[in-house]
């Protein structure tokens, strides 16, 4: 039946690294590989109470949470999110996670062959969504200040005409980098000048524990769509995200969403609305960030202890990841001995946009899910595996 698959489906590739990472489910494995938030930090009480209140919302003939809802989202939540973003309700769409936002945008903006520009390395789920829509994804390098906008300007001056430029604005995946204020202004200038849209993906902004947050690029009237998510501040299992952007684009995304899933779970939208309104929510976000800070500090210190000057990375100020460089080590080769030694990570080449031989000395390490003691043990296992790989 393979011949029945569409051309586009046949072009999608699984990855060897994903296959290898299935081994991370072994019970003795210390995994730094996941992109998962800390499960011991889920605000279960806030969510349970929110569920009870969600069930009390009445529709005309029964509980609203159990009925179909408008595609654009449950009115009260949509209004709240629009007010928070200081934009109109027409400019706001509730999505099934921000991942769905990426998929919808790619589908409504891209014809096959259209160019999309992203930082290289980039979030795999975004690359998948853009490629599935038939886009040609072009990478631009980045550094600790995020996407290098001078390199972007050079690409544009050389004739590149993207439909949109994708940036993970705060604590990018995998780099952990935050796009600086100056570069945000530069991207906006370039967008106005060359007529492309900026897709600002921001699931990690609330996980800041140090430094100052630059302003979002989104504001009404600007060519920017911002994607947000309840996944990292509440729980990803709820699958609730939202986008704000120019009404024409948000309306088109809403039409595409009708064909995809009719609407995001009414029950989960009401749970998120009630959880956001819970007076304990702000404290949860603050204490969450403090736990992430402790874990980031523990992994940073453990890496320096175990690797000394053979490791390089920027100290995280938030998010979930350290994007480390191990000098003279091919991290794809390291993965196999690391898994044998009971520690998992994602090798840098997995995030390469154009060429899998890029980022081979890099690895993405998540500090979110393990305690400081286990992070220390994981770093030690990694160093032992690296010693084997060097020989
Ligand atoms: C950069 C980035 N964008 C979007 C997502 C999707 O998140 P969700 O669909 O849970 O909102 C993730 C998930 O890890 C991510 O890292």
pTM of the model: 0.96
User: Residue 224: CB partners within 8 Å, gap ≥ 6?
Assistant: 188, 191, 197, 198, 199, 200, 217, 218, 245
Q: Ligand 1 within 6 A of 268 CB?
A: no
- Pick from 229, 232, 238 the residue to mutate for probing ligand 1's pocket: most ligand atoms within 8 Å of its CB: 229
As a whole-number percent, the residues of the chain with pLDDT over 90 amount to 90
Nearest CA to ligand 1 atom 14: 35
Instruction: Give, rounded to a whole angstrom, the gap between the first and last alpha carbons of the chain.
Output: 46
Q: Ligand 1 within 6 A of 123 CB?
A: yes
Long-range contacts of 188-196 (CB under 8 A, 24+ apart): 188/217, 188/222, 188/224, 190/149, 190/152, 190/153, 190/156, 190/165, 191/165, 191/222, 191/223, 191/224, 192/223, 193/156, 194/156, 194/161, 195/223, 196/161, 196/162, 196/163, 196/164, 196/165, 196/223
Residue 16's pLDDT is what?
Answer: 67
Q: Report the pLDDT averaged over residues 359-388.
A: 96
Atom of ligand 1 nearest to the CA of 201: 3
Confidence of residue 247 (pLDDT cuts 50, 70, 90): very high
Residue 14's pLDDT is what?
Answer: 72
Atom of ligand 1 nearest to the CA of 96: 9
Higher pLDDT, 388 or 121: 121
Q: Ligand 1 within 6 A of 236 CB?
A: yes
Q: Report the pLDDT averaged over residues 26-31.
A: 92
Q: Ligand 1 within 6 A of 34 CB?
A: no
What's the mean pLDDT when you consider all of the chain?
95
Q: Ligand 1 within 6 A of 241 CB?
A: yes
* Spatial distance between the Cα atoms of 237 and 56, rounded to a whole number of angstroms: 22
As a whole-number percent, the residues of the chain with pLDDT over 70 amount to 98
Q: β-pairing, 115-120 with 136-143?
A: parallel
pLDDT at 391 over 60: no
Instruction: Give the E-state strand segments of 30-112 in sequence order.
Output: 30-31, 92-95
User: Residue 253: CB partners within 8 Å, gap ≥ 6?
Assistant: 93, 95, 101, 104, 105, 108, 243
Residue 390's pLDDT is what?
Answer: 62
Higher pLDDT, 23 or 331: 331
Q: Ligand 1 within 6 A of 101 CB?
A: no
* Spatial distance between the Cα atoms of 126 and 106, rounded to a whole number of angstroms: 9
């Amino acid at each position: 039946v393979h011949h029945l698959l569409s051309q586009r489906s046949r072009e999608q590739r699984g990855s060897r690294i994903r296959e290898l990472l299935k081994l991370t489910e072994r019970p003795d494995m210390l995994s730094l590989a996941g992109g998962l938030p800390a499960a011991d930090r889920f605000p279960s009480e806030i969510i349970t109470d929110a569920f009870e209140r969600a069930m009390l919302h009445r529709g005309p003939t029964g509980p609203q949470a159990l009925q179909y809802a408008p595609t654009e989202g449950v009115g009260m939540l949509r209004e709240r999110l629009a007010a928070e973003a200081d934009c109109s309700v027409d400019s706001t769409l509730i999505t099934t996670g921000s991942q769905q936002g990426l998929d919808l945008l790619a589908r409504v903006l891209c014809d096959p062959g259209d160019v999309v520009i992203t930082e290289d390395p980039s979030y795999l789920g975004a690359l998948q969504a853009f490629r599935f829509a038939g886009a040609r994804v072009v990478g631009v390098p980045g550094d600790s200040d995020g996407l290098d906008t001078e390199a972007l300007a050079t690409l544009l001056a050389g004739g590149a005409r993207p439909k949109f430029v994708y940036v993970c604005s705060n604590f990018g995946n995998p780099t952990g980098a935050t796009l600086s204020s100056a570069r945000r202004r530069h991207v906006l200038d370039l967008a106005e000048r060359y007529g492309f849209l900026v897709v600002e993906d921001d699931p990690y902004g609330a996980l800041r524990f140090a430094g100052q947050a630059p302003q979002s690029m989104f504001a009404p009237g600007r060519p920017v769509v911002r994607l947000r998510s309840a996944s990292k501040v509440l729980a990803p299992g709820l699958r609730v995200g939202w986008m704000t952007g120019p009404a024409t684009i948000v309306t088109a995304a809403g039409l595409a969403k009708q064909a995809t899933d009719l609407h995001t779970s009414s029950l989960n939208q009401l749970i998120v609305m009630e959880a956001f309104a819970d007076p304990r929510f702000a404290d949860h976000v603050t204490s969450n960030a403090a736990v992430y800070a402790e874990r980031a500090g523990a992994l940073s210190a453990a890496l320096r202890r175990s690797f000394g000057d053979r490791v390089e990375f920027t100290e995280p100020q938030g998010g979930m990841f350290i994007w480390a460089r191990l000098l003279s080590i091919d991290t794809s080769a390291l993965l196999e001995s690391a898994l044998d030694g009971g520690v998992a990570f994602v090798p840098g080449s997995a995030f390469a946009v154009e060429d899998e031989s890029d980022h081979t000395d890099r690895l993405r390490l998540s500090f979110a899910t393990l305690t400081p003691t286990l992070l220390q043990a994981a770093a030690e296992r990694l160093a032992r595996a690296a010693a084997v790989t060097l020989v």
